């Protein structure tokens, strides 16, 4: 019997229509857990450095995490894993909601599509009955309404549906996969759905998911519940951190109205300038009315005690479910302050199925290009298909008009649908000026600051998801000014992986005119920054393989899940006999396989760089030192490639062989002494 | 007629507070699995959330009595400008829909308030509902002895009589008595 996982994948060949239910090796879960970990192994085995996102050989994997379908809180993430057409690296966006658990109940851990369908289809998975169904009649439908259309067509109100909108059909690089309450959004993964002509996947399952030791699992869950209950009644003090980060769960942007921090700290337009004095009482009053007027109900994802999402019924706009930062991103981009506009444009953007992170920046870039004359007025003129774009001063209407062109694949929208970098290149301008807010080709948070922050430098530079919220979260964004507050904060910081982290926090000072050795950019030092960032990334890696919302783990201060309790859920649910150090080794294995995969695809040290204008004050020498120190901390060479010693220690000798054969990893003679040196460092750093 | 005390067990449902997490379904299926907490399968849950998210419908419904036949009519509720489909509030395990039946065998499921050994303090769904949608209460009432429902054996016999006829049951009992 298999525990937590079903032990089966569904292999779908879209060219021949052949569908196989394939049993997986139990060793895979023991060595790589599930979710991202096991997806990486499939991607490593089935792609070459030359495979492109739109090649038939590129697998498209829809994956649950190892914990999906169990009662583990917030274990509901659906991971879409494929090659990104946008970054040419691994795309693995994750969406919340209900899809992944339903897939488990249908009896599958993953659906793996290969090749391309000659016509538009959707997949219907109902336990052992799986069929590829015609979807030609669904073309042009929105990503939200098509879910209901399919449920009606199947007469299965309880089916969970993941679908693309028209942006995905048109292979837009900013397209998303929408699944009821969640969106898998980043790195253009949805364009691969369009390329393979998959409009949607519907699933209904009524089978069991087994727990290896149910009573012990329940005890671990009760402990977590007590923690969440306590935290819900006693949030962290907001003296030094923002309101939206004081609870557990995703940032509570639906519940909390006060956005003084985001609106004053983040950049507006095409991530160009800040409005430090934007927030005021009058605005808070207006936004409270609008926000609570639009929210019909706060909603959860599957198996989650929190309610970070909201059902939005706003004016005449078709309803949808919103979450988190999307509330603000279009406001920033369009430079407007009317929150009504957020709710209106989101209703449209979720239907087209476009990413709320990247799209506002694409739209803002188009506005800039129009202003600068890079895009001509004829690009905004009326045609037989659509009306003329409103004048520039009608900012909201302009945004809606450009979004329509992207969503419908018309005129200039065809180019803008490729994201800022590829669009700027196609338009023939210097992408570094207009597409300035990117890492490895992916739009970043619209944040532009003054002084280099060593930890954020490493996070922006090296995060494989090219999204800073997917690596940050467990460490505060800023130092606390009052040492007493620091002392108080560390008192119950049970989440830290090692006592030495307490000292890091107590020593850390906020930036001041006087300067000093314990402030940015000197502090955290490269060694300490590496230690902290590596730990933060580790938490996200657990989430990504277990299928847990990072709002309960990686992207949360003092979260519900942490290094001292993940293993309890893994061991009792999946029956994998590990303690926290055993689990750490597993997650390091998948992290290093991930890194090797990216390097095999041609990524280099030079690609590990934040947007050039992210900070005004940069320190090239220090940045190089930070990168090298971080690489070496992780067991990578100065090029950022995992060393043979590191890979072999993680049973990835075959990966080292291939990297050496490709000339990516330099062949170096390693002695027993080298191994011993590494092993003692590893023990000191990570405890195993 | 003597008065006797009887415990009424009740689960209150505040549907407006439901946020659709379905922990109640998950934990119900876990508590009723063999071994206890060994398997999870919301399709086996005795509480299910009738849901139509975009229409703001999240409605926890508990499995009630098995009925061998569909009812003759349908109800449609309009509450707070929301339209609840026919059967939405119905608890019956009924052939007109697939709800509240064991996925493998098709046998009916019924909410037993988690009566188990050892006894749970509250039903599992209530214990794990973290938004106070479900609350549990017990209260004692005095009833006439006659008002008491048939005990379990009588209910079982009645079901058998409905299915095979009273004469068949009598014959079977007579044959079994002779063997004993």
In chain B, where the domains are located: 3-146, 150-180
> Which range is least confidently modeled, A37-41, A250-254, A435-439?
A250-254
One domain, residues A364 and A405? yes
pLDDT band for B149, please (50, 70, 90 cuts).
low
pLDDT band for A571, please (50, 70, 90 cuts).
very high
User: Which residues of chain A make contact with B55, given a CB cutoff of 8 A?
Assistant: 319
Q: Helices A339-352 and A281-294 meet at what angle, rounded to 10? A: 40
Side-chain-facing half-sphere of B57: CA atoms under 13 Å: 18
Per the domain annotation, does A601 fall within a domain? no
User: Which residues of chain B make contact with A319, given a CB cutoff of 8 A?
Assistant: 54-55
The shortest CB-CB distance from A210 to any of B21, B39, B55 is to B39
One domain, residues A257 and A140? no
One domain, residues A285 and A190? no
Distance (Å) of CA A100 to CA A28, A76, A197, B73: 19, 6, 21, 37
The pLDDT tens digits of the residues spanning B32-76 come to 999 999 999 999 999 999 999 999 999 999 999 999 998 887 888
User: Which residues of chain A make contact with B54, given a CB cutoff of 8 A?
Assistant: 144, 148, 311, 319-321
The shortest CB-CB distance from B40 to any of A71, A157, A296 is to A71
The token duo for B7 is 């415990």
Task: Identify which of A91, A64, A174 has the alpha carbon closest to the alpha carbon of residue A598.
Answer: A91
DSSP secondary structure string, A608-677?
----TTSEEE--HHHHHHHHHHHHHHTTB-TTSPBPHHHHHHTT-HHHHHHHHHTTSS------HHHHHH
> Is residue A60 within 8 Å of residue A113, measured between CB atoms?
yes
Buried b (16+ CB within 10 A) or exposed e, A535-552: bbbbbbbbbbbbbbbbbb
In this complex, is the C-beta atom of A71 within 8 Å of any C-beta atom belonging to chain B? yes
Residue B146: the pLDDT is 63
Q: Helices A395-408 and A339-352 meet at what angle, rounded to 10? A: 10
Strands B57-62 and B47-52: antiparallel
Instruction: Name which of A207, A213, A321, A351 to mutate to probe chain B: the one with the most chain B Cβ atoms within 10 A of its Cβ.
Output: A207
The answer to whether the Cβ–Cβ distance between B21 and A69 falls below 8 Å is no
Mean of pLDDT over chain A = 97
The pLDDT tens digits of the residues spanning A67-118 come to 999 999 999 999 999 999 999 999 999 999 999 999 999 999 999 999 999 9
In this complex, is the C-beta atom of A105 within 8 Å of any C-beta atom belonging to chain B? yes
Instruction: Name which of A1, A2, A71, A204 to mutate to probe chain B: the one with the most chain B Cβ atoms within 10 A of its Cβ.
Output: A71
User: Which residues of chain A make contact with B53, given a CB cutoff of 8 A?
Assistant: 180-181, 299, 311, 321
> Is residue B97 within 8 Å of residue B66, measured between CB atoms?
no
Strands A615-617 and A449-451: parallel
Task: Identify which of A523, A490, A496, A489 has the alpha carbon closest to the alpha carbon of residue A509.
Answer: A523
The answer to whether the Cβ–Cβ distance between B30 and A215 falls below 8 Å is no
The answer to whether the Cβ–Cβ distance between B130 and A298 falls below 8 Å is no
Residue B93: the pLDDT is 94
Is the confidence at residue A26, as pLDDT, over 90?
yes
The token duo for A606 is 């030079």
Residue A398: the pLDDT is 98
Residue B163: the pLDDT is 82
User: Which residues of chain B make contact with A227, given a CB cutoff of 8 A?
Assistant: none
Task: Identify which of A466, A462, A465 has the alpha carbon closest to the alpha carbon of residue A437.
Answer: A466
Contacts 24+ apart (CB under 8 A), B46-50: B46/B100, B46/B109, B46/B110, B46/B111, B46/B112, B47/B111, B47/B125, B47/B134, B48/B99, B48/B100, B49/B18, B49/B20, B49/B22, B49/B24, B49/B25, B50/B84, B50/B88
What percent of chain B clears pLDDT 70, i.e. is strictly above it?
95
The shortest CB-CB distance from A180 to any of B26, B30, B53 is to B53
The pLDDT tens digits of the residues spanning A643-670 come to 999 999 999 999 999 999 999 999 999 9
The shortest CB-CB distance from A302 to any of B21, B44, B55 is to B21
User: Which residues of chain A make contact with B20, given a CB cutoff of 8 A?
Assistant: 299-300
The minimum CA-CA distance between B72 and chain A, rounded to whole Å, is 22
Instruction: Name which of B25, B29, B31, B41 to mutate to probe chain A: the one with the most chain A Cβ atoms within 10 A of its Cβ.
Output: B41
> Is residue B48 within 8 Å of residue B57, measured between CB atoms?
no
Per the domain annotation, does A658 fall within a domain? no
Per the domain annotation, does A442 fall within a domain? no
Q: Helices A566-574 and A526-546 meet at what angle, rounded to 10? A: 30
Per the domain annotation, does A437 fall within a domain? no
DSSP A380: G
Residue B3: the pLDDT is 85
Residue A400: the pLDDT is 98
pLDDT band for B180, please (50, 70, 90 cuts).
low
- Chain-centre distance for alpha carbon B13: 14
**Which residue is associated with the tokens 């349908």?**
B74
The minimum CA-CA distance between A219 and chain B, rounded to whole Å, is 11
> Is residue A436 within 8 Å of residue A612, measured between CB atoms?
yes
> Is residue A118 within 8 Å of residue A227, measured between CB atoms?
no
User: Which residues of chain B make contact with A206, given a CB cutoff of 8 A?
Assistant: 41, 43-44, 103
Beta strands in A205-299 (DSSP E): 209-210, 267-268, 273-274, 295-299
Per the domain annotation, does A309 fall within a domain? yes
Is the confidence at residue B147, as pLDDT, over 60?
no
- Chain-centre distance for alpha carbon B35: 21
Per the domain annotation, does A578 fall within a domain? no
Of how many residues is chain A composed?
688
Is the confidence at residue B115, as pLDDT, over 90?
no
- Chain-centre distance for alpha carbon A184: 8
What residues contact A137, with CB distance under 8 A and at least 6 apart?
none
The answer to whether the Cβ–Cβ distance between B19 and A320 falls below 8 Å is no
> Is residue A91 within 8 Å of residue A318, measured between CB atoms?
no
Instruction: Name which of A67, A143, A299 to mutate to probe chain B: the one with the most chain B Cβ atoms within 10 A of its Cβ.
Output: A299
The token duo for A559 is 């979260």
Rounded Cα distance between A144 and A181, Å, is: 10
What percent of chain A clears pLDDT 90, i.e. is strictly above it?
97
Number of Cβ within a 10 Å radius of residue B8: 10
Residue A493: the pLDDT is 98
Side-chain-facing half-sphere of A153: CA atoms under 13 Å: 17
DSSP A265: H
The token duo for A422 is 């590829």
The shortest CB-CB distance from A321 to any of B22, B38, B53 is to B53
Burial class (CB in 10 A: 0-12, 13-18, 19+), A317: middle
State mean pLDDT over A628-637: 98
Query: Residue A484: phi, psi to the nearest 5?
Result: -65, -40
In this complex, is the C-beta atom of A2 within 8 Å of any C-beta atom belonging to chain B? no
Q: Determine the 3-state secondary structure of A323 from DSSP.
A: strand
Which helix (DSSP H) or strand (DSSP E) does residue A444 occupy? none
Residue A98: the pLDDT is 98
Per the domain annotation, does A233 fall within a domain? no
Mean of pLDDT over chain B = 90
Is the confidence at residue B150, as pLDDT, over 80?
no
pLDDT band for A216, please (50, 70, 90 cuts).
very high
Rounded Cα distance between A526 and A629, Å, is: 6
The pLDDT tens digits of the residues spanning A326-351 come to 999 999 999 999 999 999 999 999 99
User: Which residues of chain A make contact with B21, given a CB cutoff of 8 A?
Assistant: 300-305, 307
The answer to whether the Cβ–Cβ distance between A209 and B39 falls below 8 Å is yes
- Give me the number of domains chain A comprises: 3
> Is residue A444 within 8 Å of residue A468, measured between CB atoms?
yes
Task: Please work out, in degrees rounded to the nearest 5, the angle formed at the alpha carbon of residue A404 by the alpha carbons of A403 and A410.
Answer: 110
Q: What CATH number is given to the structural domain containing A361? A: 1.10.569.10
How many CB contacts within 8 angstroms connect chain A with chain B?
A: 93
In this complex, is the C-beta atom of A688 within 8 Å of any C-beta atom belonging to chain B? no
The minimum CA-CA distance between A575 and chain B, rounded to whole Å, is 12
Number of Cβ within a 10 Å radius of residue B77: 11
Q: What CATH number is given to the structural domain containing A199? A: 3.60.9.10
The answer to whether the Cβ–Cβ distance between B19 and A180 falls below 8 Å is no
> Is residue A327 within 8 Å of residue A292, measured between CB atoms?
no
User: Which residues of chain A make contact with B36, given a CB cutoff of 8 A?
Assistant: 214-215
**Which residue is associated with the tokens 């430098």?**
A457
Residue B72: the pLDDT is 83
In this complex, is the C-beta atom of A210 within 8 Å of any C-beta atom belonging to chain B? yes
Rounded Cα distance between B169 and B3, Å, is: 33
Return the higher-pLDDT residue of A527 and B152. A527
Is the confidence at residue B152, as pLDDT, over 90?
no
User: Which residues of chain B make contact with A157, given a CB cutoff of 8 A?
Assistant: 52
Q: Determine the 3-state secondary structure of B11 from DSSP.
A: strand
Rounded Cα distance between A516 and A639, Å, is: 32
Instruction: Name which of A178, A212, A214 to mutate to probe chain B: the one with the most chain B Cβ atoms within 10 A of its Cβ.
Output: A214
The residue segments making up the domain with residue A55 are 8-204
The pLDDT tens digits of the residues spanning B134-143 come to 999 999 998 8
pLDDT band for A376, please (50, 70, 90 cuts).
very high
Residue A46: the pLDDT is 98
The pLDDT tens digits of the residues spanning A292-306 come to 999 999 999 999 999
Instruction: Name which of B25, B54, B56, B106 to mutate to probe chain A: the one with the most chain A Cβ atoms within 10 A of its Cβ.
Output: B54
**Which residue is associated with the tokens 């000292």?**
A503
In this complex, is the C-beta atom of A124 within 8 Å of any C-beta atom belonging to chain B? no
State mean pLDDT over B14-38: 96
The shortest CB-CB distance from A302 to any of B22, B43, B131 is to B22
- With the C-alpha atoms ordered A463, A468, A474, A478, is the resulting torsion angle positive or negative? positive
Buried b (16+ CB within 10 A) or exposed e, A394-422: ebbebbbbbbbbbbbbebbbbbbbbbbbb
């Amino acid at each position: 019997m298999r525990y937590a996982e079903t032990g089966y994948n569904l292999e779908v060949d879209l060219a021949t229509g052949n569908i196989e239910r394939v049993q997986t090796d139990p060793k895979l879960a023991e060595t790589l857990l599930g979710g991202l970990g096991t997806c990486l192994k499939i991607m490593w085995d089935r792609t070459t450095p030359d495979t492109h996102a739109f090649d038939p050989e590129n697998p498209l994997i829809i994956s649950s995490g190892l914990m999906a379908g169990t009662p583990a809180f917030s274990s509901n993430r659906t991971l879409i894993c494929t090659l990104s057409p946008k970054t040419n690296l691994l795309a693995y966006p994750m969406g919340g909601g209900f899809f992944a658990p339903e897939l488990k109940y249908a009896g599958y851990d993953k659906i793996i599509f290969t090749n391309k369908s000659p016509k538009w289809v959707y997949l219907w998975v109902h336990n052992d009955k799986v069929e590829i169904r015609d979807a030609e009649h669904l073309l042009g439908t929105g990503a939200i309404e098509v879910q209901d259309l399919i449920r009606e067509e199947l007469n299965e109100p309880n089916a969970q549906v993941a679908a693309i909108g028209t942006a995905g059909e048109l292979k837009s690089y900013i397209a998303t996969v929408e699944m009821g309450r969640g969106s898998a959004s980043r790195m253009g993964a949805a364009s691969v759905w369009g390329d393979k002509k998959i409009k949607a996947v519907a699933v209904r399952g009524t089978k069991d998911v087994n727990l290896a030791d149910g009573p012990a699992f329940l005890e671990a869950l009760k402990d977590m519940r007590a923690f969440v209950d306590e935290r819900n009644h006693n949030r962290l003090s907001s003296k030094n951190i923002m309101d939206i980060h004081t609870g557990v769960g995703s940032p509570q942007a639906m519940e909390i109205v006060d956005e003084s921090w985001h609106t004053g700290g983040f950049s507006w337009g095409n991530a160009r300038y800040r409005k430090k004095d934007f927030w005021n009482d009058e605005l808070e009053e207006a936004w409270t009315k609008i926000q609570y007027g639009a929210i019909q109900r706060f909603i959860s994802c599957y198996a989650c005690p929190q309610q970070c999402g909201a059902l939005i019924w706003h004016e005449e706009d078709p309803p949808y479910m919103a979450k988190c930062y999307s509330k603000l991103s279009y406001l920033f981009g369009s430079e407007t302050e009317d929150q009504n506009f957020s709710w209106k444009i989101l209703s449209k953007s979720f239907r087209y199925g476009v990413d709320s992170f990247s799209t506002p920046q694409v739209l803002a870039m188009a506005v800039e290009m129009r202003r600068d004359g890079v895009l001509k007025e004829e690009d905004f003129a009326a045609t037989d298909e659509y009306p003329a774009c409103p004048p520039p001063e009608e900012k909201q209407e302009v945004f809606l008009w450009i979004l329509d062109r992207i969503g419908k694949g018309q005129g200039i929208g065809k180019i803008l649908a490729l994201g800022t970098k590829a669009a700027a290149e196609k338009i023939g301008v210097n992408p570094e000026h207009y597409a300035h807010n990117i890492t490895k080709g992916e739009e970043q948070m619209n944040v532009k600051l003054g002084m280099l922050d060593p930890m954020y430098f490493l996070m922006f530079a090296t995060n494989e998801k090219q999204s800073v919220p997917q690596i940050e979260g467990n460490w505060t964004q800023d130092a606390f000014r009052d040492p007493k507050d620091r002392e108080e904060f560390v008192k119950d910081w049970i989440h830290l992986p090692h006592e030495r982290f307490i000292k890091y926090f107590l020593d850390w000072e906020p930036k001041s005119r006087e300067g000093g050795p314990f402030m940015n950019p000197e502090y955290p030092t490269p060694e300490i920054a590496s230690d902290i960032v590596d730990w933060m990334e580790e938490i996200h890696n657990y989430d990504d393989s277990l299928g847990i919302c990072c709002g309960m783990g990686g992207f949360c201060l003092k979260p519900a899940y942490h290094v001292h309790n993940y293993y309890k859920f893994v061991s009792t649910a999946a029956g994998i006999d590990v303690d926290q150090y055993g689990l750490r080794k597993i997650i390091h294995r998948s992290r290093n396989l991930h890194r090797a995969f990216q390097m095999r695809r041609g990524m280099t040290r030079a690609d590990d760089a934040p947007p050039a204008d992210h900070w005004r004050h940069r320190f090239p020498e220090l940045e190089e030192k930070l990168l090298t120190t971080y690489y070496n901390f992780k067991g990578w060479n100065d090029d950022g490639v995992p060393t043979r010693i590191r890979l072999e220690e993680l049973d990835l000798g075959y990966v080292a062989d291939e990297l050496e054969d490709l000339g990516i990893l330099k062949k170096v003679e390693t002695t027993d002494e080298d191994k011993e040196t590494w092993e003692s460092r590893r023990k000191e750093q990570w405890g195993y | 007629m003597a008065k006797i005390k009887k415990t009424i067990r009740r689960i209150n449902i505040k549907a407006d507070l439901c946020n659709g997490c379905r922990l109640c379904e998950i934990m119900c299926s876990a508590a009723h699995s063999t071994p206890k907490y060994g398997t999870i399968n919301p399709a086996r849950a005795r509480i299910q959330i009738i849901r139509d998210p975009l229409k703001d419908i999240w409605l926890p419904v508990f499995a009630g009595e098995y009925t061998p036949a569909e009812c003759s009519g349908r109800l449609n509720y309009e509450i707070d400008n929301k339209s609840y489909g026919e059967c939405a509030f119905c608890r019956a395990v009924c052939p007109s829909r697939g709800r509240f039946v064991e996925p493998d065998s098709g046998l009916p499921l019924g909410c037993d308030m988690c009566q188990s050994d050892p006894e749970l303090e509250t039903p599992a769904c209530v214990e794990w509902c973290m938004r106070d949608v479900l609350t549990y209460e017990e209260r004692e009432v005095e009833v006439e002895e006659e008002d008491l429902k048939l005990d379990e054996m009588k209910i079982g016999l009645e079901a058998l009589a409905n299915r095979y006829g009273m004469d068949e049951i009598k014959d079977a009992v007579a044959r079994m008595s002779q063997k004993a």
